[in-house]
Amino acid sequence: MYINWHLNTFFVFQVLLSNLVLTCVLLLACYAAVRWYVRDSYRIGGFSQKHVFITGCDSGFGNLLARQLDQKGFRVTAGCLTEKGAADLAAATSPRLQTLLLNVTDSASIRSAVEFVRREVGERGLWGLVNNAGRSVPIGPTEWMQLEDFTKVLDVNLIGVIDVTLQFLPLLKKAKGRVVNVASILGRLSLTGGGYCLSKWGVEAFSDSLRRDMQHFGIKVSIIEPGFFKTGVTSVDLINADLKRLWARLPQDVKDSYGATYLDDYIKMQGFSMNILCCPDISKVTWCMEHALTAQRPRTRYGAGWDAKFFWIPLSYLPSFVSDFVVNVLLPSPKDKASS
């Protein structure tokens, strides 16, 4: 009986101890979450004295961000590819916002933009650079591509980002400012062929190395990783038209290996997937961009969209056979598929 009493006492002590440990762990987790939330909520001031330059403002994320920052009092310079895009944006914003024509694949065009911004910012320097300009097509099966199809996308999405950043760095160093680079969840998980995924993986790597190098000068670098959103980049009509172009130039033996119905099946399944996946609320992305520019302690990476946070980014950490299975569900298989 004496032994049983000791055993029961020991058991009760273990339960209390284990609950105490669990309680401490939960309290620490809650404290960390509250501390992170409070720290995340601190903002800088003096928006009216801060200049931000954004690329790719004709439509989509860049266009909305330019209007968003303009409403908050920032001095925004918006780079647009077309005159119509620049005129439409200028008409929808205050006189404070300025537009200019910019082709990120043309170093001379970037130099002109730098000179324009230098005259505007003076000795204050440039507070924010948002590398948003991008393109998706050509995108599709790797075998359908030629080298120039890769370079068309890489020149805009990666080389353009690098060129713009390098040319604006002196102005950013003056202000100890921010660089915000738009990557993608496809910079973590390659779901299709073409230059898009390659370019976004490159943006991730470039941003990481830039962040480490520039932290010594007070420049902070953030990466935006959007999931699927309804923008020009994800336009099904644009992608489908380019897929038909790629298919039309394929040799007949390559077409035969995929099957006569493969292109139609690919377009149908892709359209179905995009309609399900693409979110129309692009403010989820521009909120991340704004936070990266206005937070006292901006995050290194922002997963934008619920699909990015809770599906694609977690999927990128799982074994490859899991992500392969997901891709195989989303897209059709060729006729001459080899048996494993």
Contacts of 154 (CB under 8 A, 6+ apart): 195, 198, 199, 202
Contact by Cβ (8 Å): 178, 219: yes
Bridge partners for 224 per DSSP:
182, 302
- Residue 125 gets the label, from left (phi > 0), alpha (psi -120 to 50) or beta, of left
What are the Cα distances from residue 161, in Å, to 74, 139, 156, 257?
22, 19, 7, 37
Rounded to whole angstroms, the Cα distance separating 157 from 70 reads 25
Instruction: Please pick, among 31, 196, 266, 317, the residue that the annotation labels catalytic.
Output: 196
User: Residue type at 324?
Assistant: D
**Which is nearest to 122 in space by CA: 41, 51, 216, 37?**
51
Sign of CA dihedral 79, 82, 87, 88: negative
According to DSSP, residue 156 is labeled I
Bridge partners for 221 per DSSP:
179
User: Any catalytic annotation for residue 258?
Assistant: no
Catalogue the active-site residues.
Answer: 196
